[in-house]
Amino acid sequence: MTLQDLYRSRLANADDAIAFIRSDMDVAMGMAVAEPPALLAALARKVESAHIENLRLWYFHSLDAAGKTVLRPELLDRVRPHCMFLSHVERTLIREWPKGRTPGPIEFVPVAFSASVALLTRRLALDACITTVSPMDRHGYFTFGTSNDYTSSAARSAQRLIVEVNPNMPRVFGDSLLHVSEVDAIIENTVPLPEVTGGQPSSEELTIAEIIAGMIDDRACLQMGVGTLPTAVCNQLENRRDLGIHTELMTPAMARLVQCGAVTNQAKTTYRGRSVFTFAMGDAPFYAFIDDNPAFHSLPVNLVNDPRHIAKNDNVVSVNGTLQIDLGGACNSEHLLGRQYSGSGGQLDFVRGASASRGGKSIIACQSTACDGTVSRIVPMLDGPVTTPRNDTHIVVTEHGWADLRGKSVHQRADALIGLAHPKFRDELANSLR
């Protein structure tokens, strides 16, 4: 049997490909851009038409493909989303869920991004994995495209793997190959990939970005989080030389640093010459740029986000945002207004990896206020869980400056952080210490 014969033998329509799914199964889906829209629509149809109960769906970071299909409110008494990182989809479901109705719409599962592989492959017996892949090459290989993360591992541990082949999914280099012989069913679906673009940074974020950019020297190895602030930082780094990238999320702003020559990856210890990532989100030109581009190297998240592996590179600079910082330096980056807002993701992974890197800097950044300046983000006590413990917090930046918390006592930390707060909240914060 030729590779093309093997491909054709596993080709199916979406409804037939997921026909085996029944009640009480555990199904992992590709995250973000790799959500398979046709398979998710077929799964939603099956849930609607068949007697399916307690279908457990495991994933990080959903987008609209899931929100319009399997995560519709009317299906959530039968589909139980086991979400490890909330996006706007889950936040909307939680906000609009009828008060007092139990269970809630989402089963939030706290887990570090780096630990998601172990959770899905060792602690669970996945019945299926569904994801979008790039087209098969002449040697019989697909790639996981924008989403290596936990998906490449879950795909191989699940009892069945169903892939949605989309010609618009970029073919990526690295440990991302998937042979046709490993796949149980294939569907084809040519649709544009979801485009995830940020808004414009605020004036405070531009000030913060300028402060952070001043801390990034030539030959630094970058990890940037999501949002307008990391983009603003990257926009100020185009005159740097021999920067490197080792990041969980690859973005258009980071790719532009490769395009302009600021990133060469020549100073890195691991994967020299290549920008390492585990998942990617952006726009169509960005997907085209990383397609078949050997400058980008995709790896599973349990390797990319392993602090020990991160720290093998010198001068790692990790930039992440937070929602609140207490006066001891502990950070809540995932809980807002009494509700889960996102998840821990890989923040602590990179905080620890950068801190252990020779010459490394872990930077936590946020505007000093929220809610149009009426609420201080620097607080006496956090309102939610600790995402980054005070023992790990290194450098904190707001629009009012920056502070290195390493080696400082709790009183010195409080003084430094009060100095980063908005002036109208400083007296109140100081009084809270008395």
Q: Which residues contact 122 (CB under 8 A, 6 or more apart)?
A: none
Give the per-residue pLDDT at 385: 97
Give the per-residue pLDDT at 222: 98
Query: What is the percent of the chain where pLDDT is above 70?
Result: 100
Q: What does the alpha-carbon distance between residue 434 and residue 422 come to, in Å, rounded to a whole number?
A: 20
Domains of the chain, start order:
3-188 (3.40.1080.10), 203-432 (3.40.1080.20)
Q: Structure tokens of 248?
A: 């969980």
Q: What does the alpha-carbon distance between residue 204 and residue 200 come to, in Å, rounded to a whole number?
A: 11
**pLDDT at 1 > cutoff 90:** no
**pLDDT at 198 > cutoff 90:** no
* Active-site residue flag, 248: yes
Q: How would residue 199 be classed by pLDDT, with cut points 50, 70 and 90?
A: confident
Q: How would residue 22 be classed by pLDDT, with cut points 50, 70 and 90?
A: very high
Packed helices 228-235 and 203-213: angle between N→C axes, nearest 10 degrees: 50
**pLDDT at 296 > cutoff 90:** yes
Burial group, residue 19, by CB count within 10 angstroms (0-12, 13-18, 19+) = middle
Give the per-residue pLDDT at 227: 87
**pLDDT at 434 > cutoff 90:** no
Q: CA 178 → CA 15, 143, 366, distances in Å?
A: 23, 6, 39
* 210-223 average pLDDT score: 98
Give the per-residue pLDDT at 218: 98
Q: Are 305 and 350 in contact (CB under 8 A)?
A: yes
Return the bridge partners of 243, or none: 263
Give the per-residue pLDDT at 121: 97
Q: Are 317 and 221 in contact (CB under 8 A)?
A: yes
**pLDDT at 427 > cutoff 90:** yes
Model confidence pLDDT, tens digit, residues 31-73: 999 999 999 999 999 999 988 999 999 999 999 999 999 999 9
Model confidence pLDDT, tens digit, residues 138-180: 999 999 999 999 999 999 999 999 999 999 999 999 999 999 9
Q: What is the DSSP string of 113-175?
A: GGGHHHIIIII---SEEEEEEPPP-TTSEEE-TTB-TTHHHHHHHSSEEEEEE-TTSPP-EES
Active-site residue (options: 164, 205, 248, 399): 248
**pLDDT at 317 > cutoff 90:** yes
Q: How would residue 225 be classed by pLDDT, with cut points 50, 70 and 90?
A: confident
Q: How would residue 114 be classed by pLDDT, with cut points 50, 70 and 90?
A: very high
Model confidence pLDDT, tens digit, residues 236-255: 999 999 999 999 999 999 99
Q: How would residue 123 be classed by pLDDT, with cut points 50, 70 and 90?
A: very high
**pLDDT at 226 > cutoff 90:** no
* Segment among 145-154, 218-227, 422-431 with least mean pLDDT: 218-227
Give the per-residue pLDDT at 186: 98
* 91-120 average pLDDT score: 95
* 297-319 average pLDDT score: 98
Q: Which residues contact 385 (CB under 8 A, 6 or more apart)?
A: 110, 332, 334, 335
